[in-house]
Amino acid sequence: MNKVIETSDLVKIYSTGALEVCAVDHVNLTIEQGEFTAIVGPSGSGKTTLLNMIGGLDKPTGGQITVDGVDITTLTQKQLVDFRLRNIGFVFQQYNLIPVLTAFENVSFIMELQGRMKKEIDARTKEILSDVGLADRLASRPAQLSGGQQQRVAVARAMASRPKFIIADEPTANLDSKTTEKLLEMMLELNQKENVTFLFSTHDQRVMNKARRVITLEDGRMV
Protein backbone atom coordinates (compact mmCIF):
# COMPACT_ATOMS: atom_id res chain seq x y z
CA MET A 1 0.00 0.00 0.00
CA ASN A 2 1.08 3.60 -0.62
CA LYS A 3 1.65 5.82 2.39
CA VAL A 4 -0.46 8.94 1.93
CA ILE A 5 0.32 10.55 5.32
CA GLU A 6 3.23 10.00 7.67
CA THR A 7 4.00 12.01 10.81
CA SER A 8 7.24 11.72 12.73
CA ASP A 9 7.59 13.01 16.33
CA LEU A 10 4.88 15.59 15.64
CA VAL A 11 4.54 18.20 18.39
CA LYS A 12 2.30 21.24 18.83
CA ILE A 13 2.75 23.53 21.85
CA TYR A 14 0.47 26.51 22.49
CA SER A 15 1.84 29.30 24.68
CA THR A 16 -0.36 31.66 26.68
CA GLY A 17 1.87 33.99 28.64
CA ALA A 18 3.99 31.80 30.91
CA LEU A 19 1.71 28.78 30.39
CA GLU A 20 2.57 26.16 27.78
CA VAL A 21 0.13 23.47 26.67
CA CYS A 22 1.32 20.49 24.64
CA ALA A 23 -1.71 19.80 22.41
CA VAL A 24 0.03 17.13 20.32
CA ASP A 25 2.86 15.19 21.95
CA HIS A 26 5.31 13.31 19.68
CA VAL A 27 2.74 11.58 17.47
CA ASN A 28 4.01 9.02 14.95
CA LEU A 29 1.29 8.03 12.53
CA THR A 30 1.04 6.40 9.10
CA ILE A 31 -2.10 6.49 6.95
CA GLU A 32 -2.18 4.42 3.76
CA GLN A 33 -4.09 4.94 0.52
CA GLY A 34 -7.78 4.05 0.81
CA GLU A 35 -8.03 4.03 4.61
CA PHE A 36 -11.28 5.02 6.35
CA THR A 37 -9.86 5.99 9.73
CA ALA A 38 -11.28 7.76 12.80
CA ILE A 39 -9.23 9.66 15.37
CA VAL A 40 -11.07 9.65 18.68
CA GLY A 41 -10.56 10.90 22.22
CA PRO A 42 -12.04 13.28 24.79
CA SER A 43 -12.31 17.04 24.22
CA GLY A 44 -8.86 18.58 24.50
CA SER A 45 -7.11 15.37 23.48
CA GLY A 46 -5.56 17.02 20.40
CA LYS A 47 -7.72 15.53 17.61
CA THR A 48 -8.52 18.75 15.76
CA THR A 49 -5.00 20.14 16.27
CA LEU A 50 -3.53 16.98 14.78
CA LEU A 51 -5.87 17.12 11.77
CA ASN A 52 -5.20 20.83 11.24
CA MET A 53 -1.45 20.16 11.09
CA ILE A 54 -1.84 17.18 8.74
CA GLY A 55 -4.08 19.33 6.53
CA GLY A 56 -1.55 22.16 6.47
CA LEU A 57 -3.89 24.56 8.30
CA ASP A 58 -1.58 24.84 11.33
CA LYS A 59 2.22 24.70 11.67
CA PRO A 60 3.75 22.16 14.07
CA THR A 61 6.14 23.21 16.82
CA GLY A 62 8.32 20.23 15.98
CA GLY A 63 8.44 17.04 13.93
CA GLN A 64 7.68 16.22 10.34
CA ILE A 65 4.55 15.66 8.20
CA THR A 66 4.93 13.91 4.86
CA VAL A 67 1.95 13.91 2.50
CA ASP A 68 2.33 11.80 -0.64
CA GLY A 69 6.11 12.03 -0.32
CA VAL A 70 6.23 15.82 0.28
CA ASP A 71 7.42 17.18 3.65
CA ILE A 72 4.79 19.91 4.07
CA THR A 73 6.55 21.36 7.13
CA THR A 74 9.24 22.76 4.78
CA LEU A 75 6.81 24.53 2.43
CA THR A 76 6.35 28.31 2.36
CA GLN A 77 2.85 29.63 3.09
CA LYS A 78 2.21 30.17 -0.64
CA GLN A 79 3.43 26.66 -1.50
CA LEU A 80 1.28 25.24 1.30
CA VAL A 81 -1.88 26.98 0.03
CA ASP A 82 -1.27 25.57 -3.45
CA PHE A 83 -0.49 22.09 -2.06
CA ARG A 84 -3.72 22.05 -0.01
CA LEU A 85 -5.72 23.18 -3.03
CA ARG A 86 -4.44 20.32 -5.19
CA ASN A 87 -4.07 17.48 -2.70
CA ILE A 88 -6.38 17.75 0.34
CA GLY A 89 -10.17 17.88 0.69
CA PHE A 90 -11.83 19.27 3.82
CA VAL A 91 -15.24 18.57 5.40
CA PHE A 92 -16.05 20.70 8.46
CA GLN A 93 -18.65 20.46 11.21
CA GLN A 94 -20.26 23.74 10.10
CA TYR A 95 -20.39 22.81 6.36
CA ASN A 96 -18.59 26.07 5.32
CA LEU A 97 -20.50 26.41 2.05
CA ILE A 98 -20.56 29.79 0.29
CA PRO A 99 -24.15 31.01 0.88
CA VAL A 100 -24.54 32.99 -2.38
CA LEU A 101 -23.45 30.04 -4.56
CA THR A 102 -25.59 27.12 -5.68
CA ALA A 103 -24.70 23.51 -4.85
CA PHE A 104 -23.24 23.20 -8.36
CA GLU A 105 -21.15 26.37 -7.94
CA ASN A 106 -19.95 25.40 -4.43
CA VAL A 107 -18.66 22.06 -5.74
CA SER A 108 -17.10 23.41 -8.95
CA PHE A 109 -15.36 26.33 -7.19
CA ILE A 110 -12.26 24.37 -6.08
CA MET A 111 -11.69 22.97 -9.57
CA GLU A 112 -12.00 26.49 -11.02
CA LEU A 113 -9.28 27.64 -8.61
CA GLN A 114 -7.15 24.74 -9.85
CA GLY A 115 -7.49 26.08 -13.39
CA ARG A 116 -9.27 23.07 -14.88
CA MET A 117 -11.20 23.20 -18.16
CA LYS A 118 -14.89 24.17 -17.92
CA LYS A 119 -16.05 21.01 -19.72
CA GLU A 120 -14.18 18.80 -17.22
CA ILE A 121 -15.43 20.86 -14.24
CA ASP A 122 -19.08 20.67 -15.34
CA ALA A 123 -18.96 16.91 -16.01
CA ARG A 124 -17.21 16.11 -12.69
CA THR A 125 -19.53 18.40 -10.68
CA LYS A 126 -22.65 16.73 -12.08
CA GLU A 127 -21.14 13.27 -11.53
CA ILE A 128 -20.17 13.81 -7.89
CA LEU A 129 -23.43 15.59 -6.95
CA SER A 130 -25.30 12.67 -8.50
CA ASP A 131 -23.11 10.25 -6.48
CA VAL A 132 -24.17 11.99 -3.24
CA GLY A 133 -27.86 11.92 -4.22
CA LEU A 134 -28.27 15.60 -5.13
CA ALA A 135 -28.63 15.48 -8.92
CA ASP A 136 -31.96 17.33 -8.57
CA ARG A 137 -30.58 20.11 -6.32
CA LEU A 138 -27.80 21.56 -8.52
CA ALA A 139 -29.38 25.03 -8.55
CA SER A 140 -30.21 25.13 -4.80
CA ARG A 141 -28.35 27.51 -2.50
CA PRO A 142 -27.31 26.34 1.02
CA ALA A 143 -30.29 28.08 2.69
CA GLN A 144 -32.63 25.98 0.52
CA LEU A 145 -31.03 22.70 1.68
CA SER A 146 -31.37 20.71 4.90
CA GLY A 147 -28.34 20.25 7.18
CA GLY A 148 -27.78 16.75 5.81
CA GLN A 149 -27.98 17.97 2.21
CA GLN A 150 -25.54 20.79 2.94
CA GLN A 151 -23.08 18.31 4.43
CA ARG A 152 -23.45 16.12 1.32
CA VAL A 153 -22.59 19.15 -0.84
CA ALA A 154 -19.55 19.70 1.42
CA VAL A 155 -18.45 16.07 0.90
CA ALA A 156 -18.99 16.40 -2.87
CA ARG A 157 -16.91 19.59 -2.88
CA ALA A 158 -14.11 17.86 -0.94
CA MET A 159 -14.10 14.90 -3.34
CA ALA A 160 -14.66 16.70 -6.64
CA SER A 161 -11.01 17.31 -7.52
CA ARG A 162 -9.99 13.75 -6.48
CA PRO A 163 -7.63 14.80 -3.66
CA LYS A 164 -5.04 12.48 -2.10
CA PHE A 165 -7.12 12.39 1.09
CA ILE A 166 -10.06 14.01 2.86
CA ILE A 167 -10.00 15.39 6.38
CA ALA A 168 -13.42 15.35 8.06
CA ASP A 169 -13.50 17.19 11.41
CA GLU A 170 -16.61 16.12 13.38
CA PRO A 171 -18.67 15.95 10.15
CA THR A 172 -21.75 14.40 11.84
CA ALA A 173 -21.87 16.63 14.92
CA ASN A 174 -24.86 18.68 13.70
CA LEU A 175 -26.80 15.83 12.09
CA ASP A 176 -29.54 13.54 13.39
CA SER A 177 -29.01 9.76 13.46
CA LYS A 178 -30.83 8.96 10.21
CA THR A 179 -28.93 11.64 8.28
CA THR A 180 -25.65 10.57 9.89
CA GLU A 181 -26.21 6.97 8.80
CA LYS A 182 -26.93 8.04 5.21
CA LEU A 183 -23.90 10.35 5.10
CA LEU A 184 -21.53 7.69 6.43
CA GLU A 185 -22.83 5.07 3.98
CA MET A 186 -22.33 7.57 1.17
CA MET A 187 -18.77 8.38 2.26
CA LEU A 188 -17.96 4.66 2.51
CA GLU A 189 -19.28 4.10 -1.01
CA LEU A 190 -17.18 6.99 -2.34
CA ASN A 191 -14.15 5.68 -0.44
CA GLN A 192 -14.57 2.25 -2.06
CA LYS A 193 -15.49 3.56 -5.53
CA GLU A 194 -12.68 6.12 -5.84
CA ASN A 195 -10.18 4.77 -3.26
CA VAL A 196 -10.00 8.20 -1.59
CA THR A 197 -8.53 8.14 1.91
CA PHE A 198 -10.78 9.52 4.70
CA LEU A 199 -9.40 10.71 8.04
CA PHE A 200 -12.02 11.70 10.63
CA SER A 201 -11.91 13.29 14.04
CA THR A 202 -15.02 12.38 15.97
CA HIS A 203 -16.86 11.80 19.25
CA ASP A 204 -19.59 9.93 17.35
CA GLN A 205 -19.82 6.20 18.03
CA ARG A 206 -21.60 5.74 14.69
CA VAL A 207 -18.51 7.04 12.86
CA MET A 208 -16.27 4.77 14.96
CA ASN A 209 -18.47 1.78 14.06
CA LYS A 210 -18.02 2.46 10.32
CA ALA A 211 -14.29 3.18 10.51
CA ARG A 212 -11.94 0.39 9.52
CA ARG A 213 -9.34 1.70 11.96
CA VAL A 214 -9.73 3.75 15.14
CA ILE A 215 -6.84 5.76 16.63
CA THR A 216 -7.25 7.03 20.19
CA LEU A 217 -5.60 10.23 21.45
CA GLU A 218 -5.30 11.19 25.08
CA ASP A 219 -3.50 14.35 26.28
CA GLY A 220 -2.00 14.73 22.81
CA ARG A 221 -0.56 11.21 22.68
CA MET A 222 -1.59 8.15 20.72
CA VAL A 223 -2.73 5.47 23.16
Q: What is the pLDDT of residues 100-125, one digit of tens each?
A: 999 999 999 999 999 999 999 999 99
pLDDT at 1: 61
Burial class (CB in 10 A: 0-12, 13-18, 19+), 214: middle
* Per-residue pLDDT at 189 exceeds 70: yes
- Section 21-30 average pLDDT: 95
**Any domain includes 18:** no
Does residue 17 lie in a domain region?
A: no
- Pairing between β-strand 62-67 and β-strand 221-222 as defined by DSSP bridges: unpaired
- Predicted local distance difference test score (pLDDT) of residue 193: 86
2 part of a folded domain: no
Asked if 153 and 106 touch (Cβ cutoff 8 Å), the reply is yes
Q: Is residue 3 part of a domain?
A: no
Compute CA 131 distance to the chain's CA centroid, rounded to the nearest angstrom. 18
Q: How many domains does the chain have?
A: 1
What pLDDT score was predicted for residue 194? 84
Residues of the domain holding 207: 34-60+76-222
pLDDT for res 81: 92
Whole-prediction pTM: 0.88
Cβ neighbours around 113 below 10 Å, total? 12
CATH code of the domain in which 55 resides = 3.40.50.300
Please check whether residue 122 lies inside any domain of the structure: yes
Residue 70 lies in a domain: no
- Alpha-carbon distances, residue 134 vs 65, 109, 125, 143, 182 (angstroms): 35, 17, 11, 15, 13
Q: Is the confidence at residue 90, as pLDDT, over 70?
A: yes
* Mean pLDDT calculated for residue range 76-89: 93
| Percent of the chain's residues with pLDDT above 70 | 100
Query: What mean pLDDT is predicted for residues 128-152?
Result: 92
Percent of the chain whose pLDDT exceeds 90: 70
pLDDT (0 to 100) of residue 71 = 95
Residue 22 within any structural domain of the chain:
no
One-letter amino acid of 172: T
Residue 141 has pLDDT above 90, yes or no: yes
pLDDT attached to residue 200: 93
d(CA 189, CA 212): 13
The residue type found at 34 is: G
